[in-house]
Amino acid sequence: MSNVLKQKSKHISLLLKSKLWLQVLVAMLLGLAFGIMLGPDSNLVRPELAALITDWFALPGNLFLQMIRLVIIPLIFSSIAVGILTSGSPSFLKKIGPRLILYFIVTTVIAVIIGFFVAFLIQPGSYVEVGNSFSDVVVGQEFVDIKEINIPEALVNLLPHNPLESMVNGDMLGVVIFTIIFSLALLMVKKRNVTLHVLETVQHASLTVVKWAMHLIPFAVFGLMAKATSQIGMTTFAGLFMYIFTVLLGLFLILVMYGLIVFIFVGKNPFKFMSEIKDAQLLAFSTSSSAAVMPLSMKIAEDGLKIKKNIARIIIPIGATINMNGTALYQSVATIFLAQVFGVELSIFSLLLIVAITVGASIGAPSAPGIGIVILTTVLASVGIPIEGIALILGADRLLDMSRTSVNVSGDLTACEFFNKVFK
C-alpha cells in the first residue's frame, strides 16, 4: 500500500482499536430491543407512529449506506487497478487470476450443495400450510428450456457495452471486468507512473469519504436494526422458524467450511481467524452490503491478517462483487423450500439447472441489500416454481439477508488467507 493510502487508513485503524465490534454489538442489541417494542406484536405504539420513529432511527444508517454508495464505484475501480499495477509482474496476475475464479466457482457450488443437503434433510416446506392462499397459482408453467439459453451470447454480454454506463447504473460486475481489462492493458505501458499516481489519489479520496462514514457506524447499526426488527415482527419469525433455521444452519456450515480451509491449507486456528474478522462480520450483518464493508475488509486483511497487499487489493474488491457463497446457499434453500410448499417434484436436471443459475447469478449479483430476492425470482422461474411464493419468505428476508452478507464477507477474507498461503 502506498504511503498516502497508509496515512489515510489510520482512522479506520483507530476505530478497530477502539473495539468497533463491541460498539456494533451493543448497537445491534439496542436496535433489536427498540425494534421489538415498536413492532406490530407489542402494540405499544400505533403503526404509523412506529414507522415515523424508525424512519428517523434509520437516518444515520441510510446516510452511511448512501455515503458508501457515493464512492463504491471509484473505490472498486481504483483499488483493483492499483492492486494490479503494483502486483509486480503480469506473470503473477496470470497465476492468481484463473485460480481465483476457479476458487470462487468451486466454493459457490459447494455452498449450493450444502443448501440442498440441509433443505432436503430438514424439509422446512413440510411445516408450512398455504391453504387457499395460492389456489390460482399454476405450478410448473415458467419452466425454462435449456435450449433457450444462449450461452455464447451470455458470455459476450459479460463485457460491458459502455463502461461509463456500467458505472452510472452501478453494474458492479461490468465495472470489475472493465477495470481488470483496462489495468492489464495499462500494465503493458511503460510510462504509467502518472496514471498510477492518479489512481492512488482517487483511492485516497474515496477512503477519506469512508473515514467520514465510519463515524456513523454505531448509530447506523442501531437504526437499521431497529427498523428491520419493527417491520418483521416476531410473528413472522415464528411462522417461518424451520425455514429460517434451515438457512442459518446452512450458513453456519459454510463458516465451518471456511474454518476448515483456513485450518487445512493455511495451518491457522479457525477460531482465531473468526475472532480476527469479527468486525467485518458484524458490520456486514448490520448493513447487508458487502460493498459497504469492503474498506474495512481490506484494512483487516492487510493489517490484521497480514495478507500481502497485492493479494488483498485484488481479492477483496473482486470478492465483494462476485464471491457470494452465502447468497448462493440462500437461493438453493429457498428454492427447495418453495418446491416443497407447492409440491413441485425436482428432477436431477432441475437440481443441476438450479446449481448453474445460482452460481452464475450469485457471481454476477450486485453487492447491495435485497439483491437475493431478485436472483431468487430467476431461479424459481427456471424450474417451474411459482414466483408468487416469494411472498411467503419475504418477511424473513431481512434477517437472512444480513446473515448471508456476513458469510459473503467472511468468504472474501478466507480467500485472502488461502491465496496468501498459496503465493507465499
Q: What is the pLDDT of residue 255?
A: 97
Per-position DSSP letters for 206-272, written without gaps between them: HHHHHHHHHTTHHHHHHHHHHHHHHHHHHHHHHHTHHHHHHHHHHHHHHHHHHHHHIIIII---HHH
10-residue mean pLDDT profile of the chain (424 residues): values are: 49 54 79 84 82 89 82 82 75 83 93 96 81 46 50 70 78 78 83 84 84 82 81 64 92 97 95 93 83 86 90 87 88 92 86 83 57 70 78 74 91 96 87
Q: Which residue has the cell 407447492?
A: 342
What are the φ and ψ backbone dihedral angles of 355, each rounded to 5 degrees?
-60, -50
**Using CA atoms, how far apart are residues 223 and 329, in angstroms rounded to an integer?**
28
CATH class of the domain at 20-423: mainly alpha
Single out the residue of 362, 377, 371, 422 nearest to residue 400, CA to CA: 371
What are the φ and ψ backbone dihedral angles of 306, each rounded to 5 degrees?
60, 40
Q: What is the pLDDT of residue 106?
A: 94
Cell of 257: 467450511
**Using CA atoms, how far apart are residues 287 and 260, in angstroms rounded to an integer?**
27
Cell of 305: 491478517
- CA–CA–CA angle 322, 101, 70 (5° rounding): 30
Cell of 260: 476448515
Q: What is the pLDDT of residue 132?
A: 46
DSSP helix, strand, coil percent of the chain (3-state; round to 5) = 80, 0, 20
Q: What is the pLDDT of residue 293?
A: 86
Q: What is the pLDDT of residue 252?
A: 97
Q: What is the pLDDT of residue 8?
A: 46
Q: What is the pLDDT of residue 142?
A: 47
pTM: 0.74
Q: What is the pLDDT of residue 10?
A: 54
* Domain spans of the chain, in order of start: 20-423
| CA 119 to chain CA mean position, Å | 21
Per-position DSSP letters for 65-106, written without gaps between them: HHHHHHHHHHHHHHHHHHHHHTSS-HHHHHHHHHHHHHHHHH
